[in-house]
A = this chain, B = another copy of it.
Amino acid sequence: MDVEQYMTELGRSARAASRRVAASSTAARNKALLATRDALDGARSRLAAANAEDLERGAVAGLAAPLMDRLELTPGRIDAMLEGLRQVASLPDPVGAISDMNTMPSGIQVGRMRVPLGVVGIIYESRPNVTVEAASLCLKSGNATILRGGSEALASNCAIAACLVEGLLAADLPATAVQVVNTADRAAVGHLITMPEYVDVIVPRGGKGLIERISAESRVPVIKHLDGVCHVYIDDGADADMAINIAVNAKTQRYGTCNTMETLLLAESTAEQLLPRLAQAYAAAAVELRGCARTRAILPQVNEATEQDWREEYLAPILAVRVLRGLDEAIDHINTYSSQHTDTIVTRDHARAMRFLREVDSSSVMVNASTRFADGFEYGLGAEIGISTDKLHARGPVGLEGLTSQKYVVFGEGQVRT
């Protein structure tokens, strides 16, 4: 079949299914999630066989080791998928809540009702567990989903999709509420992101290149997470132990995550005292430092940071370090170089803490806490479909609420406009 026609049919089915899912009860959606859990649990051998097929194809194609690792569905990862489904089923249903109801001078009552977005398109790379994670969050929030995973995971994703369909049918929900794009044809993505009549939002998950390409070409709004160039700023008079503790945790707790610190900023009054202690701690973790001239005046062994280092998301044991006059310069640096993801100030000063919060234009701004806390679980969202570095609709970790919107509801008693 022609891929355009195939995608149009997926879109049309998703749109129709989305209306039924939006009108379904919380109980039905939870039932589908738990039935999917049971179906996956019962399909372990089929999942393993499908995954082995993908892994074999990957090995033949010479996939890089990290990709092969992400592709693998270990028993532990299947357990985590089952637990994820249980957790999402236990989250409160965001759909239907009416808020901000007020009576207007005309006598009408105006409020807002939380409603699903409709059809969510998810585009992701190798990890097959994303199929369940993303589909479950979308279903819980009353949306239909079209999932386009990496072609290297196609057999695994189709096996998982069969379990999702089993779960949907067990709850008397339409089987097309979750659809996996069942072709490796790359043109499928191009169609998915240019069908605004069938798809309400695209959530791409993957490398920066993929996301930039999708954002540039999409005719559908994109909830995107580009990169995380996160900062810790150690303010004049900060508690030294707290500052070191946070700066070390934000860099070294994990290197490959988007909320990992990539540049450390210090007020000049703190540099002399803190930089040697920090250098020791980072050396112990084998983190390479790249410093500005003032950093290197205190730590001569450190390499010079170039302009490019201030923009770099290393995702590796490398850290850029800059000494600045104080808060104003720190805010300037962050608003110039940060990717507007997550930035922290370590300070004792209330007024400067509040200025940092107000003036740093990032999706998460923190006082005296590690940047590593920026995620949906730590923020109490229960789960996240991604972290948005956009400003519209959703900023920061996106949970169930980010997969909904609000419409106006008006209750009248026959009022007309005069």
Contacts and interface: CB of A to CB of B under 8 A. Distances in A.
Interface stretch (A57-65, A176-184, A295-303, A388-396): A388-396
Interface in A10-49: 19, 22-23
A373 B410 CA distance: 9
B412 A23 contact: no
The binding surface of chain A is classed by DSSP as mixed
Please give the count of copies of this chain that the complex contains.
Answer: 2
Taking residues whose C-beta sits less than 8 angstroms from the other chain, chain A's interface range is 35 or more
Contact of A19 (B108, B361, B405): B361
Contacts of A56: none
Interface in A366-394: 366-370, 372-374, 378-380, 390-393
A306 interface: no
B245 A414 contact: yes
B405 A391 contact: yes
Given A365-B409, A391-B405, 14 more contacts: A104-B379, A113-B357, A115-B361, A117-B392, A200-B391, A215-B219, A245-B416, A246-B414, A249-B417, A344-B410, A366-B410, A367-B409, A373-B417, A374-B410
Interface of A: 19, 22-23, 96, 102, 104, 106, 108, 110, 113, 115, 117-118, 200-201, 215-216, 219, 221, 223, 239, 242, 245-246, 249-250, 253, 335, 344, 355, 357-359, 361-370, 372-374, 378-380, 390-393, 395-397, 405-418
